[in-house]
Amino acid sequence: MKMHGLTVAACVTAAIAFGLFYLYDLLSVSRPDTKGLSLLFPLGAVLTVVSTVLTVIDCRPLKPSWWLIGVAVGLILTVKALFFSLPKGTYTDPAARRRVYDGGLYGICRHPGFPPFVLMYVCIGFWLGERSALCCGLLCLMNLVYIILQDRYTFPHIFDDYVDYRCRVPFLPTAKSILKHK
């Protein structure tokens, strides 16, 4: 498989995006007063979108596909899990930051945004074909590394009760955790 310029650019952009996510988490623990810290996460999110757009442009899908339904479902569920499943103030209120929210999706698993993120990029990969596989796979792998970093380092430092939460709620959803939470 020959690497095209946009494929390389998409992969580099994805690596920079997740580098910003990792840096955001590490600095949130070690140097929370770092100037510009609050810009790192949104900038990483924008670069993730740019990486995806570069991949789509490079692979030039010729027609709509049923895979786009999976892309849309994955995108909607990822956004819901990360931005609309937490009570207001969970990350912005200093007092609320110290307690884990374990309701809703976060009672089913500790990282509910990961499975739909993978769904989205697997469907993008099937829609676009093998040229997209490298970037889509890279994004999924870097996201897995990121949630492991959060689970093992960042969150135990940010949330007072995260170790207990980790004992009660699985890393990713299981049939048991889904059925228990209904």
Contacts of 127 (CB under 8 A, 6+ apart): 61, 65, 67, 68, 71
For the cut 80, the answer to whether the pLDDT of residue 163 exceeds it is yes
- Tell me what pLDDT residue 99 has: 84
At residue 33, what are phi and psi to the nearest 5 degrees?
-95, 10
- Tell me what pLDDT residue 97 has: 59
Of 38 and 16, which is predicted with more confidence?
16
CA-based torsion, 131, 132, 134, 137: positive or negative: negative
- Tell me what pLDDT residue 3 has: 56
Distance separating alpha carbons of residues 94 and 32, to the nearest angstrom: 12
- DSSP H helices, the chain, are 5-30, 37-59, 67-79, 105-108, 114-128, 133-149, 155-158, 162-168, 175-181
Arithmetic mean of pLDDT, 42-57? 94
Predicted model pTM: 0.90
Taking only the tens place, the pLDDT of each residue in 90-147 is 666 655 557 888 999 999 999 999 999 999 999 999 999 888 888 999 999 999 999 9
Q: Domain locations in the chain?
A: 5-181
